[in-house]
Amino acid sequence: MKYIIPLLLLLILTNPALGQERLRTSEGKISFDASSPLEDIVAVNEKVNAIIDLKTGEIAVVLLIKDFKFRKKLMQEHFNENYMESERFPKAIFSGKISSFSLENINNEGQAFPLSGELTMHGVTRPLEDSIRLKKNGKDINCSLDFVVRTEDHKIKVPRVLFKKVAKEVNVRTELKLSPE
């Protein structure tokens, strides 16, 4: 018992210091465009969770598939039930590292850094390498990343009847404003 109170006090006092080492958001934005010449298929998720470790440059991004919003309700229903099977695979997760990351190297104009990691979606994990743009905004960091996901790489099946309406390569745009914890 005599060790519990000092241990709790130590945890409480060190927690603010730990908060300085990470930036996070629960209101990030990821949008995608799977449009074809026959159909506009665009969706946005504005409930994306992300965290960056300022010491290591490690980054993690998590979102719920069902939080993507479409212009048409029927598209959203088909997306969740038929394509993404969001009941079975509710989350998409990216876990990776920003190379050459240093808080001192990030400026107000923004610059690109190499990013590598793994994207898990629809039960399939695939490597993802691209560049992420980081921009300092006071104590916050704005991150933006554009990349392409191939539906077949994540075993997302498009019914034959609709294969001309849904792009095989989906353009993804990520926008995160990360703030101190």
pLDDT number for residue 18: 46
Average pLDDT over residues 74-96: 93
- The percentage of residues in the chain with a pLDDT greater than 90, rounded to a whole number, is 65
Pick the CATH number of 24-180 from 3.40.5.10, 2.40.128.110, 3.30.1180.10, 3.40.50.300: 2.40.128.110
Distance CA 131, CA 122 (A): 23
pLDDT number for residue 156: 82
Distance of CA 66 to the CA centre of its chain: 14
Q: Tens of pLDDT along 106-136? A: 999 999 999 999 999 999 999 999 999 999 9
Distance of CA 82 to the CA centre of its chain: 22
pLDDT number for residue 50: 97
For the chain, the structural domain boundaries read: 24-180
Q: What is the pTM for the complete model shown?
A: 0.83
Among 99-103, 112-116, 156-160, the range scoring the smallest mean pLDDT is 156-160
pLDDT number for residue 6: 45
Residue type, 79: F
Residue where the block lists tokens 């440059």: 57
Q: With a cut of 50, say whether residue 1 has pLDDT above it.
A: no
pLDDT band at 165 (very low <50, low <70, confident <90, very high): low
pLDDT number for residue 105: 87
φ and ψ at residue 61, rounded to 5 degrees: -135, 130
